Amino acid sequence: MKHFFKQGNKDLPTLLLLHGTGGDERDLLPLAEMIAPEASVLSVKGNVDENGMARFFARLREGVFDEEDLVYRTNELKQFIDESANDYEFDRGNVVALGYSNGANIAASMMYHIKESLKAGILFHAMVPRRGIELPDLSGVPVFIGAGKRDPLIPLNETKELVENLKKAHSSVTEFWTDGGHELRREEVDEAKRWFEKNFK
């Protein structure tokens, strides 16, 4: 997968950066700099092309995921992280996903499908990746969720369902809501920074 790696402090988790629809492997670098400037970064570009826009998995239409492709791409990303840990010599067991929108959705999908695939997650404007499956035990996998109360793409109840699913799987979930829409707001970034420092410094 096309990617960018930056070596940082090996005592901190490696941040896995996962962009939104139409982004690339450099999109979220400023975000990582704001949240955890000393951390190593593995920033990945999605392999799916939707009308010239990069995504991490296919969808049938707005808000409706191609579940078969979602599962395939989730495993593909997990394997890529495994290989990257060997190539760049970072601790595979200490990877924190930092995703926005489509990137947050595939990070959530990793938590839903693959036990111990992530140490934690910062999910900005995420949806329920898949329904009707049993999640692995997420004890010790804290998750920060940033969301907008007026998000036109993600109904409030969708985010609430994601939070409940993660909590039922024993994840410690921190929610932060803004009055905004689908855009990423500075206050949720600042809150994510506080959450990261509380959990990992």
Report, as residue numbers or ranges, the catalytic residues. Answer: 101, 151, 182
Neighbour-count burial for 179-197, b at 16+ CB within 10 Å, e otherwise: ebebebbeebbebbbebbe
- Both tokens assigned to 95: 């990877």
SS3 of residue 160 by DSSP: helix
Sign of CA dihedral 4, 195, 187, 171: positive
Angstrom distances, CA of residue 22 to CA of 7, 55, 70, 113 = 26, 7, 17, 25
- Number of residues that this document lists for the chain: 201
